[in-house]
Amino acid sequence: MITLRGLTKRYGDTLAVDSLDLEVRPGLVTGFLGPNGAGKTTTMRMVLGLDRPTAGTALIGGRPYRELDRPLHHVGAVLDAKAVHPGRSARSHLLALARTHRIPGRRVDEVLETVGLESVARRRAGTFSLGMSQRLGIAAALLGDPELLVLDEPVNGLDPDGVLWVRELMRSLAAEGRTVFVSSHLMSEMQQTADRLVAIGRGSLLADAPLAEVIANSAWTAVRVRAPHPEDLVSALESEGAGVERVGVGELVVTGAEMERVGELAHRAGVALHELSPRAASLEQAYRELTRDSVQYASPNPCPDPSATPAASSNRSRA
């Protein structure tokens, strides 16, 4: 379990983390979300004793990381998958870590098999792809059979099979009663993996709630429409200021109009409908609402937001 109390980090005049109060509980996959520069990695580094807080505390099982006896048995972490001596083989790297904690060599072979690297165990880590390095980092995190996993963007560089493997691994570890704390920018992956979400922006806590609650609290609503010839309906919707996005042949996503009103307009325009249904918000839409005022490094011409104004959405329908 991770406990943060008033956790604060300043770099000169920059407030990177602002008085975070948080508990990351066992038995759950907790997703840690936020824009670039939000303070996620800095928070993780303070939890792992790599950065000293300006104020407040970060505790693992009630103790600071520096006070843990043989810390690999308590917490495993992947913050930088490439942070391995390039001249060492995968097995030598893990064996060196194991010896610092009196972990037997057979455990090294076990985790290499778990992550699928047994066939390249004697290859130098410097020759590994990013995906292979991620697997090696996860092997190191699992080495001490810890109760807590802290993972920063663990699926970067992985192919689809690797992403599925990491997802299932995290969920299986949480099901065993372990604490899994994972940072990611991949909202679709977090929606399939996380039980609970923590979101920060500009160093401050924006949300700490179950995944379903975060999505349910989103103000984004839309209507899904399928029609073989929707052109007259699109015109009618746009004339009322609704947003229309074409997402496939004969398929629309309508914002800014109630489902009943869409049906009335279709009837009036003589448009046959094959489907008219509400479309629930996704984690991506909920996340963008949460962090809209916290993005520090926005592009001057960002991609259209599916929860943006009707005018912006209707422009997409004409593209």
**Which residue, of 201, 216, 231, is where some domain finishes?**
216
Same domain, 168 and 229: no
Tokens in use for 243?
Answer: 């947003």
**Which residue, of 151, 183, 216, is where some domain finishes?**
216
What is the residue whose two structure tokens read 């996704």? 282
Q: How would residue 306 be classed by pLDDT, with cut points 50, 70 and 90? A: very low
Same domain, 260 and 287: yes
φ, ψ of residue 228 in degrees (nearest 5): -65, -30
Same domain, 119 and 157: yes
Same domain, 75 and 52: yes
Same domain, 105 and 242: no
Same domain, 172 and 289: no
Average pLDDT for 293-318:
51
Same domain, 126 and 227: no
CA dihedral sign of residues 254, 258, 263, 266 = negative
Question: 287: domain range?
Answer: 222-317
Q: What is the CATH number of the domain that holds 285?
A: 3.30.70
pLDDT tens profile 200-233: 999 999 999 999 999 888 767 789 999 999 999 9
Q: How would residue 304 be classed by pLDDT, with cut points 50, 70 and 90? A: very low
Same domain, 257 and 149: no
Same domain, 44 and 182: yes
Same domain, 266 and 136: no
Same domain, 175 and 227: no
Task: Report the number of distinct structural domains present in the chain.
Answer: 2
Q: Look at residue 282 and tell me whether its pLDDT is greater than 60.
A: yes
For 70, the 3-state DSSP assignment is coil
Q: How would residue 317 be classed by pLDDT, with cut points 50, 70 and 90? A: very low
**Which residue, of 200, 216, 232, is where some domain finishes?**
216
243 membership: H or E segment, kind and range: strand 243-248
- pLDDT, residue 299, reads 63
In this structure, which amino acid lies at residue 315? N
Say what the pTM is. 0.80
